[in-house]
Amino acid sequence: MTQFRLSRRLLLGTAPAALVAPALAQPAWPTRPVRVVVPFPPGGLVDVLARSVSQRLSAQLGQPVVVENRAGAGGNIGADVVAKAEPDGYTLLASSLGPLAVNQFIYRTMPFDAQAAFTPITLLATTPKVMCVANARPWRTVGEVVAAAKAAPGRLTGGSAGPGTSLHLALELFKQRAGIDISHVPYRGAAPAVTDLVAGQIDLVIDNVPNILGQIRGNGVRAVAVATEERLPQLPGVPTMKEAGVDFAFGTAFGLVAPAGTPPAIVNRLAELVGAALRDPEIGGRLAEQGAILGGSGPAEFAALIERERRTLEPVIRAAGIRAE
């Protein structure tokens, strides 16, 4: 911590006005409740992340930090609320990167400019993905899945949480990397897709580990590979896609942003406090057990991650012709 030596003149309150003015120009923050908008329904991982971190922030900031769910349009409705809010640190967005990096390539019109509307604060977590197949199918490796798809192009079915969701994008990216054709079956959420996978109604799903880990451990589905650079401690016996011969790694990132123009002092303070909350064993340990890879990076690192996501997924979306109204 930098220390300053104060002169007698400053201590006596006779400092020049130019030295005092900057301090007076910075109002205290926060002096009232802070709202964190989650642009998806309650119960999802980003909602759990936001509520866990918000409880800690309330204690750290001395003000209530309230989570508000504003779902719809792939996250665009809630994100638009924050995009149009005052950049004063009292309205934040906790979201997947859909509204921040992906939806602009999927929706014909957007209510905000995703590349200019927000100030990144910090990465909250990344959820790795795992390919699971129905127990009724004979495949036990990614190689066997790829071989089956090549033998009958378009016959295999892969479920997702809906068009343009991370599960759909993961499936399309896998198809491109493996050079195969698998028919996409969209559902209204990941849960019904997994239900049909357990029942053998579809062949496979590339899902977020926290969503499907219980079914894997309960032998409801068969995990054949994780889409990560290294094996996961939660699934140590499951190889990575790269080990299986497919250059494919994909995860879903969740982060915290503020309206563009939010003062850097507030942004940096939030990044520091959220990082500390994620490092707390009570919060971070519980989330990590579910398969989340915790974040806590600074604003610059999170901004770079958002930009990489845009560059990676735009060509995937274009090639697959993914559109939403």
55-104: pLDDT as tens digits:
999 999 999 999 999 999 989 999 999 999 999 999 999 999 999 999 99
- The pTM of the full predicted model, rounded to 2 decimals, is 0.83
Is residue 10 a contact partner of residue 19, using CB atoms and an 8 Å limit? yes
pLDDT tens for the chain, residues 1 to 325: 433 333 333 333 444 444 444 443 456 899 999 999 999 988 888 898 899 999 999 999 999 999 999 999 989 999 999 999 999 999 999 999 999 999 999 999 999 999 999 999 999 999 999 999 999 999 999 999 999 999 999 999 999 988 888 999 999 999 999 999 999 999 988 889 999 999 999 999 999 998 899 999 999 999 999 999 999 998 999 999 999 999 999 999 999 999 999 999 999 999 999 999 999 888 888 778 777 888 988 999 999 999 999 999 999 999 989 988 6
Q: Mind listing the domains of the chain with CATH numbers?
A: 34-126+252-320 (3.40.190.150), 127-226 (3.40.190.10)
**CA 91 remoteness from chain centre:** 18
Short-list 69, 75, 72, CA closest to 37: 69
Contacts of 196 (CB under 8 A, 6+ apart): 159, 185, 187, 202
User: What's the rounded Cα separation, in Å, for the pair 45 and 317?
Assistant: 24
- Cα separations (Å) of 153 from 158, 186, 246? 13, 18, 18
Instruction: Kindly tell me the burial class for residue 219, based on how many C-beta atoms sit within 10 Å of its own C-beta (0-12, 13-18, 19 or more).
Output: exposed
Write phi, then psi, for 16 (nearest 5 degrees): -60, 150
3-state SS of 38-105 is: ECCCCCCHHHHHHHHHHHHHHHHHCCCEEEEECCCHHHHHHHHHHHCCCCCCCEEEEEECHHHHHHHH
